């Protein structure tokens, strides 16, 4: 009286199945199952274990499939916890100026920088932004990314910020990659408020945040807390206002100068503090105490040729969870390659390959409050899975600048196949 259990998808024979599950204690710290298999039903993980132990009663649905991962690595879909996905225009001219020796801040002072992208984004139509965003999501997916956080912040007026967040909503409806939207109206002061900072902060607090919350367009509220952008008091006021409207706080903190951003992140109960090149000792301790995740962005250090790196080892030793993200944006990190960030995280910030993998899975999920749904392969979690054509997990940061992704499963469906894949 064998009872068949219908499943939609089985991936089996993985050389290494990285579960990232805290329930599997192994030497690697990644919860690896050698010869691993995973069974998926209705978008969720039904079973994880050794291929040899796959329950005999599993029967694949007529629309379903079985994938052989012999010799390869299977792991949770990657999570990019800090992107500026929706923007118009591009800034390759600044790239060239920086090669000639001009600094990021000098270029911003001459009318380039964030404000030039604000101009281009305001000019762009909804459909243009949607098409640009779609292509970026496709590229992220091809690198194994199944969930991202995406910030507004290149509109800086009520109308343009709403346009960006609505583009994200439309992209969420059409694209398999999940998007956690963040309102970053406090990215910088728009030129029309250059000499009226207070009026812009009032606009953010009294009009933009309430409207964004009313339309349910964002889950998080972020602030660029920096001498040249929003100071500590302004940042606190904006994040507290966001909280009153149900927006969870995040902070761009201590990127270009030490400013107490990490301490503020702990004080307001932020999900993450991001960048942190100039974080203080006290800031690290407070983040550990309040369990604020550090989202580090090696692409920005690399792209801006900044020699100052965040003290990642110290943060890890003090108990701060460290995530790595692309910071995808046209000025300081024009890339969709999260695996490349892993290589840089290892070489610049001295993360081990194990820590780099945790940084784009469990820790990235935590920085978005989604660790119960994504970031590890456990029963009942979302079936977001990547199959990589590499012999072991260390290869992912080691063999760099290469597409190792063979296929990507999102909520139980194969949504991407590398054209060279034999699956
Ligand atoms: O995360 N830090 C602020 N914002 C971006 C850069 C934005 C830009 O240059 O367009 C960042 O690095
Ligand atoms: Fe950023």
DSSP strand pairing (5-18 vs 58-68) = parallel
Could you give the CA distance from residue 323 to residue 332 in angstroms, rounded to a whole number?
18
Helices and strands, number each (H, E), in the chain: 16, 16
Q: What spacing in Å lies between the alpha carbon of 206 and ligand 2's midpoint? A: 24
Could you give the CA distance from residue 335 to residue 97 in angstroms, rounded to a whole number?
19
Q: How many C-beta neighbours within 10 Å does residue 105 have?
A: 12
- CATH 2.30.40.10 residue spans of the chain: 5-76+377-417
Looking at residue 423, its pLDDT comes to 64
Q: Return the ligand 1 atom nearest residue 188 CA.
A: 3
Q: Mean of the pLDDT values across residues 20-43?
A: 94
Q: State the fold for domain 78-367.
A: TIM Barrel (3.20.20)
Q: Is the pLDDT of residue 312 over 50?
A: yes
251 CB near ligand 1 (under 6 Å): no
Q: Is the pLDDT of residue 2 over 60?
A: no
Looking at residue 126, its pLDDT comes to 98
Residue the block writes with tokens 């009009």: 207
Looking at residue 4, its pLDDT comes to 78
User: Angle at Cα 377 formed by Cα 374 and Cα 382, nearest 5°?
Assistant: 45
Could you give the CA distance from residue 304 to residue 288 in angstroms, rounded to a whole number?
28
Looking at residue 27, its pLDDT comes to 87
Q: Which of 82, 114, 182, 298 to mutate to test the pocket of ligand 1 (most atoms within 8 A of CB)?
A: 114
Q: For atom 9 of ligand 1, which residue has the closest CA?
A: 331
Q: Which of 331, 334, 335 to mutate to test the pocket of ligand 1 (most atoms within 8 A of CB)?
A: 331
Nearest-10 crossing angle of helices 281-290, 261-268: 20
Q: Mean of the pLDDT values across residues 34-62?
A: 96
Q: Is the pLDDT of residue 324 over 50?
A: yes
Looking at residue 110, its pLDDT comes to 87
| φ/ψ of residue 320, rounded to 5 | -85, 135
252 CB near ligand 1 (under 6 Å): yes
Q: Mean of the pLDDT values across residues 177-197?
A: 97
Confidence of residue 422 (pLDDT cuts 50, 70, 90): low
190 CB near ligand 1 (under 6 Å): no
151 CB near ligand 1 (under 6 Å): no
Q: What spacing in Å lies between the alpha carbon of 331 and ligand 1's midpoint? A: 6
Residues 6 or more apart whose CB falls under 8 angstroms from that of 332 comprise: 104, 299, 300, 303, 304
Average pLDDT, the chain: 96
Q: What spacing in Å lies between the alpha carbon of 346 and ligand 2's midpoint? A: 20
Residue the block writes with tokens 């932004």: 129
Looking at residue 295, its pLDDT comes to 98
- CATH 3.20.20.140 residue spans of the chain: 78-367
Q: What spacing in Å lies between the alpha carbon of 47 and ligand 1's midpoint? A: 41
Distances (CA, A) of 137 to 53, 127, 144, 172, 376: 36, 15, 11, 10, 21
Q: For atom 12 of ligand 1, which residue has the closest CA?
A: 332
pTM of the model: 0.97
Q: Is the pLDDT of residue 3 over 80?
A: no
What CA dihedral angle connects 131, 135, 138 and 139, to 10 degrees?
-160
151-184: pLDDT as tens digits: 999 999 999 999 999 999 999 999 999 999 999 9
Looking at residue 61, its pLDDT comes to 84
102-155: pLDDT as tens digits: 998 899 888 899 999 999 999 999 999 999 999 999 999 999 999 999 999 999
Q: Return the ligand 1 atom nearest residue 226 CA.
A: 2
Q: Is 33 helix (H, G, I), strand (E, B) or coil?
A: strand
CATH of domain 5-76+377-417: 2.30.40.10
Q: What spacing in Å lies between the alpha carbon of 37 and ligand 2's midpoint? A: 37
Q: What spacing in Å lies between the alpha carbon of 174 and ligand 1's midpoint? A: 27
- Ligand at minimal distance from the CA of 94 is 1
Q: Mean of the pLDDT values across residues 224-248?
A: 96
Alpha helices in 13-101 (DSSP H): 92-99
88 CB near ligand 1 (under 6 Å): no
Looking at residue 419, its pLDDT comes to 81
300 CB near ligand 1 (under 6 Å): yes
332 CB near ligand 1 (under 6 Å): yes
Q: Is the pLDDT of residue 218 over 50?
A: yes
pLDDT over 70, % of the chain:
99
Looking at residue 1, its pLDDT comes to 40
272-289: pLDDT as tens digits: 999 999 999 999 999 999
327 CB near ligand 1 (under 6 Å): yes
213 CB near ligand 1 (under 6 Å): no
Q: Is the pLDDT of residue 343 over 90?
A: yes
């Amino acid at each position: 009286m064998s009872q068949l259990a219908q499943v939609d998808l089985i991936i089996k024979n993985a050389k290494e199945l990285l579960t990232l599950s805290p329930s599997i204690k192994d030497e690697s710290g990644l919860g690896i199952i050698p010869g691993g298999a995973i069974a998926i039903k209705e978008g969720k993980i039904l079973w994880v274990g050794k291929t040899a132990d796959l329950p005999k009663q599993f029967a694949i649905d007529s629309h379903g499939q079985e994938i052989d991962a012999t010799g390869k690595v299977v792991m949770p879909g990657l999570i990019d916890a800090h992107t500026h996905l929706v923007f118009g225009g591009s800034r390759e001219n600044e790239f060239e100026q920086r090669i000639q020796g001009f600094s990021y801040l000098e270029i911003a002072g001459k009318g380039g920088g964030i404000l030039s992208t604000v101009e281009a984004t305001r000019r762009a139509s909804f459909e243009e932004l949607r098409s640009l965003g779609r292509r970026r999501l496709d590229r992220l997916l091809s690198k194994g990314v199944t969930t991202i956080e995406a910030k507004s912040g290149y509109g800086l007026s009520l109308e343009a910020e709403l346009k960006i967040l609505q583009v994200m909503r439309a992209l969420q409806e059409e694209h398999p990659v999940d998007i956690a939207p963040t309102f970053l109206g406090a990215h910088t002061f728009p030129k029309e408020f250059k000499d009226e900072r207070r009026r812009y902060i009032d606009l953010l607090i009294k009009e933009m945040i309430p409207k964004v919350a009313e339309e349910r367009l964002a889950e998080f509220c972020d602030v660029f807390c920096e001498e040249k952008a929003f100071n500590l008091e302004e940042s606190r006021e904006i994040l507290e206002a966001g909280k009153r409207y149900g927006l969870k706080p995040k902070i761009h903190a201590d990127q270009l100068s030490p400013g107490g951003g990490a301490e503020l992140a702990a004080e307001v109960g932020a999900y993450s503090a991001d960048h942190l090149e100039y974080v203080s000792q006290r800031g690290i301790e407070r983040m550990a105490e309040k369990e604020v995740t550090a989202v580090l962005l090696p692409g920005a250090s690399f792209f801006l040729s900044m020699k100052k790196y965040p003290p990642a080892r110290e943060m890890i030793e003090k108990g701060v969870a460290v995530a790595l993200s692309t910071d995808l944006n046209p000025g300081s990190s024009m890339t969709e390659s999260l695996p490349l960030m892993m290589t840089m995280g290892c070489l610049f910030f001295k993360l081990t390959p194990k820590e780099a993998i945790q940084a784009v899975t469990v820790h990235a999920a935590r920085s978005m409050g989604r660790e119960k749904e994504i970031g590890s392969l456990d029963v009942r979690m979302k079936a977001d899975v990547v199959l990589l054509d590499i012999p072991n997990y260390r290869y992912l940061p080691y063999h760099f600048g290469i597409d190792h992704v063979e296929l990507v499963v999102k909520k139980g469906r194969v949504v991407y196949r590398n054209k060279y894949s034999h699956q």
